[in-house]
């Protein structure tokens, strides 16, 4: 008799499924912000993010934006003598630029000639990947491989001031060396502004 009383509830549990209240299910599927690490800082993804098929390959649906991933670098008062592009011994070296963790770069170049009388020419910024083989080709063959470049034009008889166009460019290497060149027959004083960022939006199809 005692054994039959114990067996009865166990039999009910096996015969009927266990129901979870919908309120608890809703809490388990509620959308929340997701943080992604392994970048220069913790990234926060906002928007409707759905992860399916766990533990298989994850699928992210909808539009996702990554915030808080920007950096600005300023190089001002750079006196650039007359020099030829890709001639390392003549160009002005302006230091190394760390770009790891970023995907996009916007360079703004502006300044003025240091004389009222000057020839037409180009003032430019060259970012050369800091890789041994690429730098060797630059030194020995005067050939620039995979550069990020920004330049401004001057015209004889025109204003002493110059500025470049602003065009976002893709970053492909974690570190670059910055050089400035000036094909005008007079020195120029230049200011360089760099804005590093990541792609603002990552979109995926459902």
Span 141-165, pLDDT tens digits: 999 999 999 999 999 999 999 999 9
With bands split at pLDDT 50, 70 and 90, how would you rate the model's confidence at 118? very high
Q: Which of 16, 41, 68 is the last residue of a domain?
A: 68
Burial class of residue 152, CB neighbours in 10 A (0-12, 13-18, 19+): buried
Question: Does 59 share its domain with 75?
Answer: no
Question: Does 58 share its domain with 140?
Answer: no
| C-alpha triplet 188, 149, 106: angle, nearest 5° | 100
Q: Which of 33, 68, 103 is the last residue of a domain?
A: 68
In a domain, residue 189? The reply is yes
Question: Does 141 share its domain with 60?
Answer: no
The total domain count for the chain is 2
In a domain, residue 42? The reply is yes
With bands split at pLDDT 50, 70 and 90, how would you rate the model's confidence at 55? low
Per-residue pLDDT tens digits for 88-113: 999 999 999 999 999 999 999 999 99
Question: Does 15 share its domain with 96?
Answer: no
Question: Does 21 share its domain with 78?
Answer: no
With bands split at pLDDT 50, 70 and 90, how would you rate the model's confidence at 44? low
Q: Where are the alpha helices (DSSP H) in 46-159?
A: 132-141
Hey, is 168 helix, strand or coil?
coil
Over 70: is that where the pLDDT of 73 sits?
A: yes
**For residue 95, what is the domain's CATH number?**
2.60.120.380
**The whole model's pTM is what?**
0.66
Range of the domain at 62: 2-68
């Amino acid at each position: 008799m005692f054994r039959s009383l114990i067996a009865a509830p166990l039999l009910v549990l096996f015969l009927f499924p266990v129901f979870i209240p919908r309120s608890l299910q809703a809490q388990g599927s509620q959308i929340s912000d997701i943080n992604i690490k392994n970048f220069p800082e913790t990234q926060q993804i906002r928007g409707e993010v759905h992860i399916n098929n766990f533990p298989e390959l994850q699928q992210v649906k909808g539009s996702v934006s990554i915030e808080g991933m920007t950096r600005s670098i300023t190089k001002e008062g750079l006196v650039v003598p007359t020099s030829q592009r890709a001639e390392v011994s003549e160009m002005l070296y302006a230091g190394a630029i760390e770009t790891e963790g970023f995907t996009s770069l916007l360079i703004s170049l502006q300044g003025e000639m240091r004389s009222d009388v000057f020839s037409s020419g180009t003032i430019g910024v060259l970012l050369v990947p800091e890789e041994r083989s690429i730098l060797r080709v630059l030194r020995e063959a005067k050939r620039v491989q995979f550069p990020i470049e920004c330049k401004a034009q001057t015209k004889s008889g025109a204003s002493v001031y110059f500025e470049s166009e602003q065009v976002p460019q893709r970053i492909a290497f974690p570190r670059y060396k910055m050089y400035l060149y000036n094909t005008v027959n007079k020195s120029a004083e230049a200011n360089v502004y760099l804005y590093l960022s990541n792609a603002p939006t990552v979109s995926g199809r459902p």
